[in-house]
Structure 1
Amino acid sequence: PIPVPDRNYLTVTDPRSGKTITVPINTKTNTINASLFAQLKIVPTTPPPIASEDRVPVRLFDPGFKNTTVCRSAVSRVDGEEGKLYYRGYDVEELVEKSSFEEVGYLLIYGELPTQTELEDFSRAIARNQYVHSELEKQMLTFRYDAHPMGMLISTIASLSTFHPEANPALQGENLYISPMLTSGLSASDKLVDLGKGRRVRHVAAARGERVGRHPYNQPMPNPKSYTENFLYMLDKLNETDFTPDPRLTKILDKLFILLAEHGSNCSTVMMRHLASSGVDPYTALSGSAGALFGERKASAVIDMLKQINSPEKIDIFLTIKKGRPVRLMGFGHRIYKGRDPRVSIARDLAFQV
């Protein structure tokens, strides 16, 4: 048989210099290596150069990363054409029906769904780390009575770096998160997962407690059935001695947590990676990631839209006005999906159950 020539490449010619380069196409990811374009160098028409022979490489300009990938991920995959979202190869719609948030968290972190023993160990490790240092609680008491919960959360996450110097590569060495084991027998990464996932839910609950003037803050639930049940317990318990969160709400929130657990290189993920690349401690990087989520174009955009609507009676008027303008409705899917966003239909069904 006649061999088929390899056509998985681009041939790029710069007519100004006459130079031609060949850029291979990665057929698995349908991407090219942008750094190869640096082979095309020209003398710029605007100053500087310092000398006439100075040449600068061609750069690819893509504001907003609209057609640029910055990493390769095995954690999740978004199929915008088919309206599908996969976590580690599992369809998110299947995970919502068959798995708990803790199981999905384990899957995203370690790459496989846990066995029953692994799940129990994972859940216990998180539960052990849901208690907040008393000095950090004192810090939270210094926030204004009307401080936004996200602002309090960002600040307290960043403060964790001062309580855990052992997690700071600047203090412990740059190989901290690639070294196999700490003296505790855990890797530094595993310990961080337990601390981060445990403390974060506690901080959110404490931030709400501060906002509504509920002191002292609720402690974690004794023997909770799940991560989500414990979260609702810390949010809603008053002075009852036998309070248990509504199982229906616990189940709904658990499914919503799964839907929002991962979505590729979103703004917060890119911010986390960007900060981590400098070798900063994980808590500072995580607070920066949370700060990105607090941005006007992220979560707060939905809240602003709901404030505009103001009441159920004004929904029809609001939609009529928006239909006549070239604007987006916030919170109704992601632009990467060409048709349905699989998370929206599930969230809608869950909302009708409340």
Structure 2
Amino acid sequence: MSKPTASSLSVRDNRTGKDYTIPIVDNAVRAVDFKGIKAPRLAGEREENETEKGLRVSDQGFLNTAVLHSQITYIDGDAGVLRYRGYPIEQLALHSSHLETAYLLIYGSLPTKSQFEIFSNEVSQHAVMHAEAQQFFRSFRYDAHPMAVLTSAFAYLGSYYQEANPSLQGQTLFTKGDAPSLAIMDKQIYRLIGKATTLAAMAYRVRQGREFVTPPTGMSYTASFLYQMDYLGQEDYTPNPVLVKALDVLFLLHADHEMNASASSTLQVGSSLVDPFSAIAAGCASLYGPLHGGANEAVVRMLLSIGKPENVPAFIEAVKRREKVLSGFGHRIYKTSDPRSFIVRKTADEVFKITGKDALLETAMALHDAAMKDEYFVSRKLAPNVDFCGLIYRAMGFPMDYFPVLFVIPRVVGWLAHWRQMMLQTGGVKIWRPRQIYVGAGKRDYVPIGKRETVEGLRLTPSAVEHSGISKRTRLATYKGKL
């Protein structure tokens, strides 16, 4: 251990009486430095604690563990600050576009006019899907959740591009950082951003029983998406510009959010040096969960369950009694208000001017006002977050189970930005392999099946399954080899 300095942490291990000095760099200490703090195993202590092998750091749910150095997104949850590459989200939402912001997140700076033309043209040209993809999408059940379809589609996409698969081309395919490697990497970035809207539109239209639409030329990224969603053969069809702008702003707001569950899932899988399509599929699967991308849908379902504004007080009391779950308030990172929520409110006003106000808006506002005046929610810092944008999606006519898809499309950009940064980081890519604290049984000897004692308990035995239909009749039938 090094000598104490102003930028260090002094630790005394009371088990041994030894003092340790751990360096502090960028207001962080390395977890691996604690591994040097070792002690003899205490009398009666479990050998599985591995005390003599060094101290471990326990952080269930990654509440305060930094897994990498990043230059992409900065969040100050206490102050309600969100910046992409140093630019405040408020400025970008006012002046930029989703695709320009995508360039910023991935490459680190706002593009010049010529740089943006090259980038946007490549994304547009790589939006078209292979004809065989129609068979893939039509193989799903008519009622398949669009997120299940989209997650599968990203993984399926990787089967087309053997030149982008490190398992086939060598594990340094994306990590070399030379011109050929960067060119291959950029091509996959174009493909994934371009095809994200196409895959999402196909997942929507297959549910509608409609033919798929080839991405149009000459339209913006968001307008092209709405065109693919809704075009039914009309001459000179053009999506409403207010809806295009609103969706573009929401895409920009959702493009990245630092080390959230889906971004870290993408990097966890990507750290094995798998192809980027598989890594993005992992991020998509993570975002599918109701604690992450499904939150928008949860907000609307909550508001539907409340119904009218006059029902809000009873709902508030039920939440405080832990009988109901409050969605759309509070955030793992933001302890004040989510800076995106103000932009969402302004965007909602613009959309409602042409679609009419959502019937649930008054209920949402009543819930907001009640929660902001109630000490129970104020003391717990449960301010409204960005998940209320589900009301905008609802007003625009998107089905509720499609809300997470509208989250995935922009978040592909953030996933790719973090993936690219990790591939090119100094020192190369290290596979993510978290530690655990083993609290299970100690060493046990195998017992033959005839001599084992019955173990009972709801969580200690497999559940019985009630069979019906063909399964039930088969269990009642006789046949050779039946157990």
Whole-angstrom CA distance in 2 between matches of 1:78 and 1:39: 32
Task: Give yes or no for the alignment of 1:248 onto 2:242.
Answer: yes
CA contact (8 A) 1:309 1:318 kept: no
With over 3 angstroms needed to count, the CA separation of the structure-2 counterparts of 1:116 and 1:316, relative to structure 1, is farther
Task: Give yes or no for the alignment of 1:43 onto 2:37.
Answer: no
- Please list the CA deviations of residues 71-126 of structure 1 after superposition, one character each: whole Å capped at 9, or x if unmatched: 12110100122211100010010001111111100000000100111111111100
- Please list the CA deviations of residues 192-244 of structure 1 after superposition, one character each: whole Å capped at 9, or x if unmatched: 11011011110000000011111x201112311x1111111111112212110
Identify the residue that residue 20 of structure 1 maps to in structure 2: 19
CA contact (8 A) 2:302 2:326 kept: no
Over 4 Å off, 4+ runs: none
CA contact (8 A) 1:43 1:56 kept: no
- Please list the CA deviations of residues 124-154 of structure 1 after superposition, one character each: whole Å capped at 9, or x if unmatched: 1001111111112211111000111111000
With over 3 angstroms needed to count, the CA separation of the structure-2 counterparts of 1:151 and 1:311, relative to structure 1, is same
Task: Give yes or no for the alignment of 1:221 onto 2:220.
Answer: no
With over 3 angstroms needed to count, the CA separation of the structure-2 counterparts of 1:58 and 1:227, relative to structure 1, is same
Task: Give yes or no for the alignment of 1:61 onto 2:55.
Answer: no
Whole-angstrom CA distance in 2 between matches of 1:165 and 1:211: 30
1:258-297 equivalence runs, <5 A: 258-297=252-291
CA contact (8 A) 1:13 1:19 kept: yes
TM-score by length of structure 2 reads 0.67
CA contact (8 A) 1:83 1:340 kept: yes
With over 3 angstroms needed to count, the CA separation of the structure-2 counterparts of 1:153 and 1:84, relative to structure 1, is same
Whole-angstrom CA distance in 2 between matches of 1:158 and 1:234: 21
CA contact (8 A) 2:35 2:55 kept: yes
Identify the residue that residue 8 of structure 1 maps to in structure 2: 7
Q: Alignment partner of 2:47: what SS?
A: coil
Give the deviation of 1:15 after TM superposition: 1.4
Q: Among 165, 178, 181, which residue is 2:179 paired with?
A: 181
- Please list the CA deviations of residues 24-67 of structure 1 after superposition, one character each: whole Å capped at 9, or x if unmatched: 122xx3211111111111234434379xx982211010111111
The letter for the 2-side match of 1:181 is A
Identify the residue that residue 439 of structure 2 maps to in structure 1: none
Whole-angstrom CA distance in 2 between matches of 1:70 and 1:46: 31
1:324-343 equivalence runs, <5 A: 324-326=318-320, 329-332=326-329, 334-343=331-340
Identify the residue that residue 28 of structure 2 maps to in structure 1: 31
Whole-angstrom CA distance in 1 between matches of 2:334 and 2:317: 20
Whole-angstrom CA distance in 2 between matches of 1:333 and 1:260: 17
Percent identity between matched residues is 38
Q: Alignment partner of 2:294: what SS?
A: helix
Whole-angstrom CA distance in 2 between matches of 1:186 and 1:72: 21
Whole-angstrom CA distance in 2 between matches of 1:313 and 1:155: 35
With over 3 angstroms needed to count, the CA separation of the structure-2 counterparts of 1:315 and 1:238, relative to structure 1, is farther
With over 3 angstroms needed to count, the CA separation of the structure-2 counterparts of 1:124 and 1:89, relative to structure 1, is same
Give the deviation of 1:311 after TM superposition: 6.9
The letter for the 2-side match of 1:195 is R
CA contact (8 A) 1:148 1:211 kept: no
CA contact (8 A) 2:126 2:195 kept: yes
Give the deviation of 1:305 after TM superposition: 3.7
Give the deviation of 1:314 after TM superposition: 3.0
With over 3 angstroms needed to count, the CA separation of the structure-2 counterparts of 1:306 and 1:9, relative to structure 1, is same
- Please list the CA deviations of residues 136-175 of structure 1 after superposition, one character each: whole Å capped at 9, or x if unmatched: 2211111000111111000010011211111111110111
The letter for the 2-side match of 1:102 is L
The letter for the 2-side match of 1:221 is P
Identify the residue that residue 300 of structure 1 maps to in structure 2: 294
Give the deviation of 1:176 after TM superposition: 0.6
With over 3 angstroms needed to count, the CA separation of the structure-2 counterparts of 1:187 and 1:116, relative to structure 1, is same
> Structure 1: 5+ residue runs without aligned partners?
none
CA contact (8 A) 1:332 1:344 kept: no
With over 3 angstroms needed to count, the CA separation of the structure-2 counterparts of 1:312 and 1:117, relative to structure 1, is farther
> Structure 2: 5+ residue runs without aligned partners?
352-483
The letter for the 2-side match of 1:192 is Q
With over 3 angstroms needed to count, the CA separation of the structure-2 counterparts of 1:228 and 1:333, relative to structure 1, is farther
Q: Alignment partner of 1:13: what SS?
A: strand
Identify the residue that residue 149 of structure 2 maps to in structure 1: 152
- Please list the CA deviations of residues 271-319 of structure 1 after superposition, one character each: whole Å capped at 9, or x if unmatched: 0110011111111110010000001211223313422432784354246
1:22-171 equivalence runs, <5 A: 22-26=21-25, 29-44=26-41, 45-48=44-47, 55-171=52-168
CA contact (8 A) 2:92 2:101 kept: yes
Q: Give the number of aligned pairs.
A: 342
Larger Cα Rg: Structure 1 or Structure 2? 2
Task: Give yes or no for the alignment of 1:235 onto 2:229.
Answer: yes
The letter for the 2-side match of 1:23 is I
Whole-angstrom CA distance in 2 between matches of 1:205 and 1:90: 31
TM-score by length of structure 1 reads 0.91
The letter for the 2-side match of 1:335 is R
CA contact (8 A) 1:78 1:84 kept: yes
Q: Alignment partner of 1:335: what SS?
A: coil
Whole-angstrom CA distance in 1 between matches of 2:67 and 2:122: 33
CA contact (8 A) 1:10 1:23 kept: yes
Give the deviation of 1:181 after TM superposition: 3.4
- Please list the CA deviations of residues 1-37 of structure 1 after superposition, one character each: whole Å capped at 9, or x if unmatched: xxxx9422111111112222101122xx321111111
